[in-house]
Amino acid sequence: MSKKSSSFEFLKNFDFLLVQLGALAESYPANDPHAALIRLRQYGEVLSRHIAQKFHIYVESEEVNFDLLEKLKSVDQIPQDVISGLSQLRIVGNNALHSFQGDSSDVRNNLRIAIKLGRWLVSISESRSKKNPLEDNLSQKIKDNLKEINLKTESKKELQKSSHDFSGKNMFRNNFNGKNLTDFDFSGSDLRKASFQSANLKNTIFDGADIRGANFLDSKNLQSYQLENALMDKATKLPDTINPKFKLRRNT
């Protein structure tokens, strides 16, 4: 039997994290609507940051989604239905996370909203990716030099990213104990019951990862904000350095 493709595949050349979060929301069974709604909330936050970037809005790395949406509201070029859709994903997702509210009907509705928002983002991205007219005034030699520099830079970035990029991977029960995972990217990965004991987690990314039952005891340099968009439960073991209020919120 062939694997059913995700409704978010159209975003694969834009940001694969959006594809992963959307696909996860689609894949959760009907008896777990809260997990799907939480993923769609994360999808909306990632999408909001892309929109902010398109409209040159400065965003702090730890800025909460509510404040970001307030900034987007001030941009006249962003349609009101886009702002309303992003707010819907945030509010319903928050209710699912903190109050266990929401059902399969809410999931279907928010999936439709998420797809619509994704297509709008792609449409404005395509309209804004026009050639810079200033390039026409450069000599061919300068153009060739710039191209060579860009190729070297991109190759270096890709090499570094590929060696540390585990986004979207199935890493169920993986053992990372004692490893140096500085700058590693586990966005959207399945890290259920994985172990990170005594691992160095400086700048490690867990955006959208499933860390239910994972063990972070005695890990180093882990900050609360690195786990805010991850899916966790009471079985997730966190180090004492994590803010106690964050631990309490995690358990609700």
- Residue 206 sits in a domain whose CATH number is 2.160.20.80
Claim to verify: residue 52 and residue 111 sit in the same structural domain: yes
- What's the pLDDT score for residue 153? 52
CA-based nearest residue to 88, from 47, 48, 27, 44:
44
Claim to verify: residue 53 and residue 104 sit in the same structural domain: yes
* Mean pLDDT in consecutive groups of 10 residues from the start of the chain, 252 residues: 72 91 91 93 93 84 78 88 92 91 93 94 72 48 57 49 73 93 88 95 89 94 87 91 71 49
Query: Any idea what DSSP says for residue 189?
Result: -
Judge whether 142 lies within some domain: no
Backbone dihedral region for residue 78 (phi beyond 0: left; psi -120 to 50: alpha; all else: beta): beta
- Residue 30 sits in a domain whose CATH number is 1.20.120
- What's the pLDDT score for residue 172? 92
Number of domains in the chain: 2
Judge whether 145 lies within some domain: no
- What's the pLDDT score for residue 74? 85
- What's the pLDDT score for residue 185? 87
The residue among 81, 106, 128 that closes a domain is: 128
Claim to verify: residue 97 and residue 190 sit in the same structural domain: no
Judge whether 4 lies within some domain: no
Claim to verify: residue 117 and residue 163 sit in the same structural domain: no
Claim to verify: residue 114 and residue 18 sit in the same structural domain: yes
The residue among 128, 149, 177 that closes a domain is: 128
Range of the domain at 247: 158-252
Claim to verify: residue 164 and residue 242 sit in the same structural domain: yes
Tokens of 252: 């609700």
Residues 118 and 22: beta-carbon distance below 8 Å: yes
Claim to verify: residue 30 and residue 105 sit in the same structural domain: yes
Tokens of 247: 């631990």
Judge whether 1 lies within some domain: no
Judge whether 146 lies within some domain: no
- What's the pLDDT score for residue 216? 95
Spatial distance between the Cα atoms of 168 and 28, rounded to a whole number of angstroms: 16
The residue among 85, 113, 128 that closes a domain is: 128
- What's the pLDDT score for residue 160? 45
- What's the pLDDT score for residue 249? 63
Judge whether 23 lies within some domain: yes
Judge whether 140 lies within some domain: no
- What's the pLDDT score for residue 228? 81
